[in-house]
Chains A and B, each alone.
Chain A
Amino acid sequence: MSEREQIKKSTPQRREAEIEQSPSNTEQGEELKAELTDLLDEIDEVLESNAEDFVKSYIQKGGQ
């Protein structure tokens, strides 16, 4: 779509900035992975322990 091309052309600065950052991408990737592992550890702790029962008992009346 032509409109889409125009939008992208109007933001060349941002695109270049992204490319310049690329050498650190793998490092960032590792960091993100570590963050997700920590987050999943936390989720495992906080998640309702009896999942089957919890899901079964989560019943709502229909609303709007």
Chain B
Amino acid sequence: MRKYILKRIGISLLTVFVLATVVFFLARLMPGGPFSDPKISATARENLAHYYGFDKPLIEQYFTYLGNLLHGNFGYSTKYPGQTVNALLASSFPYSADLGLRALCFAISFGLVFGVMSALNRGNGIDLFFVIVAVIGTSVPDFIMGAILQHFFGYKWGLLPIAQYKDITYTILPSVGLGFYTMASVSRIMRASMLEVVQQDYIKTARAKGVSNFRITWKHQIRNAIMPVITILGPIVASVLTGTFVIESVFAIPGMGKYYVESVQNNDYSMILGMTVFYGAFLVFCNMIVDILYGLIDPRIRISK
């Protein structure tokens, strides 16, 4: 098991390194530069480029950048002079992370419960209800769901605040809006997986052993049915976190989303790199956790690696 975990960590670090390199060069390939505003004079532009070190050879810049990265230093933003990328990240990431995490918790817990209930009631009204919820959830995009929730819960019934992010009541609508799609897909996968597992021979074996229905569902069915859900947890985390950018603007939440979009529009190199590497590293980290979790739950994975 330790070997398996070490290997996952090694692969993750390598992935982040490759990501940083590729993004570094790709950002430079984009047309224009951080100071291409025509209002800036040529000398000012040269001075600025010199100040930020953009006049040095690309390879040198690359190694300087890598060196800084090793110390966790993402450099200065060109759009917000005097502010470090680290500081901007530190102020905005907590909002995005908080929102993403709440949405994930909502999506996974409700998705699993709905999927299990649906499968256990296969064919009757309860199943139909959850299937319909799942179909709606997977076909309505985040921002529409967000707007619908705002309209009903915020505007019409006045139950919850419409926008911003202050105390817990503010977090409910954006979390649900962000997590709804994921909740629906988790529920669908869990339902299908439960129905598949129930036909497995080992369920028949358990019945022939005289095990109670409750125990069969808990110990044999759910434990095995949850595997496909864990497999897609990595991509799910990615999709929820990407979704935060949209939901953040729908609910006016001061998260990372705004900076991300701005940085690309302004060719703010250090900001693009900082955002991407940070975000990428975060996703890689999530995937690594999922891999390790998978190994813990399914004994077959542990040994084979």
Binding partners A and B: no
Q: Interface on A for B, CB 8 Å cutoff?
A: none
